Amino acid sequence: MSQKERKNRILVVDDEENIRKSLKMILEYEGYAFFEAADGMEAKEALEEHPEIDLVLLDIKLPDTDGLTLLAEIKKKPFSPEVIMISGHGTIPMAVEATKLGAFDFLEKPLHRERILLSLRNALEARKLKSAYQDIKKRTEKKYQLVGEHPLMKNLWQEILKIAPTNATVLIQGESGTGKELVARAIHAHSPRASENFVQVNCAAIPEELIESELFGHEKGAFTGATERKPGKFELADGGTIFLDEIGDMSLKTQSKVLRVLEEGEVQRVGSSKIIKVDVRVIAATNKDLKKEMKEGRFREDLYFRLNVVPLYVPPLRERKEDIPLLVDYFCAVYSEENNFRRKKFSPEALEIMMKYPWKGNVRELRNLIERLIILTDKEVIEPEDLPDYLMQEKELFLPDMRRIKTLREFREEAEKNFILFKLKANNWNVSKTAREIDTPRSNLYKKLEQYGIKIVAGAGEAVAPSSDDEEGEESPNSTGQDGR
């Protein structure tokens, strides 16, 4: 049975058998699955045995416990069922206390059929919305996950966990594409403000004439096109976190107003004289050198020191290349799932090439490449020939990873292999042309290809074999040639 067809499960906890029988008739007639308990102990056993129960109708007076005490125990569990309290002697203070403990509603006896069913429907709809929210939250957390086991990333995580519980302003610096937004979201997610809004503003993407309105809001008629009152991003983030991305691109005029928010906790909408108090944690990020920007008069010194209470640095991908296989695996999982594909992966040879590429666009460049390859590559294992040409044409391709090279011979062979690959690629996998260019007999080049396990591919992906049309006097791949090294 699908989730859509599944009956909602309701547990009735009441020591009066007649009430349980009456509710059973009503609920089963309406299509609900019915469970019952005569006291607190039976209720706990039922919830333990049937964790899928969606809602509990709970009497406030039970033989072995107080209904409010049981309510508090039920609501401690993650994604607990909704609870509707029922009582024959209800009071307003009792109803208020039940609501504080997490009860959805409070019904008085004698129970009326329509009132019960209305409260049930509302409670189950609320639970459905909570479930949908939880699903969205999980997907969002997965999408914005910080991935990395390199010591630089571990140190960054330790710093995030230290500062997250505080209200300190944070300035995140790092190259474009390193994941500064992910760091900001991680700080918010681990802070006491996690249940409140996380509002992101890209200062570089908003035109100068609109950024004040975006940040601080405006009143109706404040300027041409202001047809209605609009709250600003700082107001929307009240109680939560605002992330000012690319703050180095903000004008000096706007900088002075942001400074006021940081110092006074006050915003003023465009076109209004009213001061609005806000409680917002500010996290800023930039890929610019703000000290240089200050010297050249493009960034306020007082704002810099107010933002730079806790500085964080996000390392570029080239400084943590050991994390590339982890990131590739993570992105493969995400995009395979998003597109309903079978899980794809990269061959060790393809990963080796990717680890040698400098990734000037950092994690963002890697992520975009993985998504494209997942969508466009039909094979379940992505090989070197599936990678774009530019990965093979970077100068860094010739440099072996010094940390894993132990001997001079290993270094020479690794460099030679990469050099041959580069030249073959540049010559469209033409072995004869490549042999001439690198000044070695073609037979020797074939030996090297065999030695290093290099598979020659043409534009159509077919193996290139020696041809009788090769220039006269050139040795065949079976003849013995000089080493040519």
pLDDT at position 480, please? Answer: 34
pLDDT at site 351: 93
Residue 157 lies in a domain: no
pLDDT reading at 349 higher than 70: yes
Residue at 308 is within a domain: yes
Looking at the structure, do residues 122 and 33 belong to the same domain, yes or no? yes
Q: How confident is the model at residue 142 (pLDDT cuts 50, 70, 90)?
A: low
* Predicted local distance difference test score (pLDDT) of residue 250: 92
pLDDT (average), residues 339-350: 90
91: pLDDT confidence band, cut at 50, 70 and 90?
confident
Answer yes or no: is 156 within a domain: no
pLDDT at 141: 61
Q: What are phi and psi of 319, to 5 degrees?
A: -90, -5
38 found inside a domain: yes
Residue that finishes a domain, picked among 354, 379, 397? 397
How would residue 316 be classed by pLDDT, with cut points 50, 70 and 90? very high
pLDDT at site 465: 37
Angstrom distances, CA of residue 337 to CA of 143, 241, 325, 342, 376: 12, 30, 18, 8, 15
Q: Are 484 and 357 members of one domain?
A: no
CATH of the domain at 322: 1.10.8.60
| Percent over 70 (pLDDT), the chain | 88
Q: Which of 313, 337, 362 is at the close of a domain? A: 313
Task: Determine the pLDDT at residue 139.
Answer: 67
Residues 280 and 329 in one domain: no
> Of the candidates 265, 293, 313, which is a domain's last residue?
313
Per-residue confidence (pLDDT) for residue 152, from 0 to 100: 93
Is 268 inside any structural domain?
yes
Residue range 74-90: average pLDDT? 87
What is the model's pLDDT at position 224?
78
What CATH number should be reported for the domain holding residue 186? 3.40.50.300
| Residue 471 binned pLDDT confidence (cut-offs 50, 70, 90) | very low
Please tell me whether residues 89 and 211 are part of one structural domain: no
pLDDT score of 340: 86
309 with 171, same domain: the answer is yes
Structural domain includes residue 386: yes
Q: Both 175 and 306 in a single domain?
A: yes
Q: How confident is the model at residue 47 (pLDDT cuts 50, 70, 90)?
A: very high
In this structure, the answer to whether residues 456 and 333 fall within a common structural domain is: no
Indicate the range of 3-17, 32-46, 286-300, 333-347 predicted with least confidence.
3-17
In a domain, 107, yes or no: yes
Q: Same domain for 121 and 183?
A: no
- 251-296 pLDDT, tens digit each: 999 999 999 999 999 998 988 888 999 999 999 999 999 999 999 9
Higher per-residue pLDDT: 464 or 205: 205
Across the range 311-336, mean pLDDT stands at: 93
Across residues 197-215, what is the average pLDDT? 90
Q: Which of 162-176, 289-303, 404-418 has the lowest mean pLDDT?
A: 404-418
Q: Are residues 183 and 291 in the same domain?
A: yes
Residue 217 lies in a domain: yes
Q: How does pLDDT run across 366-403, given as a tens digit for each residue?
A: 999 999 999 999 889 999 989 988 887 554 445 556 66
Let me know whether 432 and 470 are in one domain. Answer: yes
Together in a domain, 430 and 471? yes
- Position with higher pLDDT, 43 vs 6: 43
Name the domain count of the chain.
4
Q: Domain residues for 456?
A: 407-485
Mark whether 171 and 306 lie in a shared domain.
Answer: yes
